[in-house]
Amino acid sequence: MRNTLLILVLVGATLTSHSQTPNTVINCWIDNGGVNYGHLAELLPDSITANLLVNPRKKFHMRDGNVILLWLEQQGWKLLAVDVSASGSGGNVFSRSNYILSKEIYLDDAARTLFLQKLEGIENKRNN
């Protein structure tokens, strides 16, 4: 369910991002007090990843997902969705929230073409 929701959110964000400006929408999520950037480190140019893909848990020793969410929003990330799951037994209920965020970044034509080629390559590896 979580993977399906994440895929739907990512597809929706990508479809809504097509406008006149050549911006690229990227996504991350906060899970268990850490930021997961997925494949972005291998998709984006090195000049962007150093400043963009910061892990506040490691860099600033933040452990609270809400504090990390607020920090990322101040860096230009926008909250896209909250995925809440619950489980339990014997009268005990445990809930868990994952925050899905997106950000628009500018990539020049060459970087955007390379980004898309790498993205297709990752998907092709997964399917083979």
Q: Which two tokens stand for residue 115?
A: 């980004």
Long-range contacts of 75-82 (CB under 8 A, 24+ apart): 76/103, 77/28, 77/101, 77/102, 77/103, 78/102, 78/103, 80/9, 80/13, 80/27, 81/5, 81/9
Neighbours of 111 (CB within 10 A): 16
Report the pLDDT value the prediction gives residue 77, as an integer from 0 to 100.
97
Tell me, what amino acid is at 68? I
- Structure tokens of 95? 């809930």
- Please write the tens of the pLDDT for every residue from 16-48: 655 556 799 999 999 888 899 999 999 999 999
69-90 confidence digits (pLDDT tens): 999 999 999 999 999 888 888 8
**Is the pLDDT higher at 40 or at 9?**
40
- Give the whole-angstrom CA distance, residue 15 versus residue 19: 9
Q: Tokens at residue 27, please?
A: 């996504």
Instruction: Note the pLDDT of residue 89.
Output: 86
Supply the pTM of this predicted model. Answer: 0.73
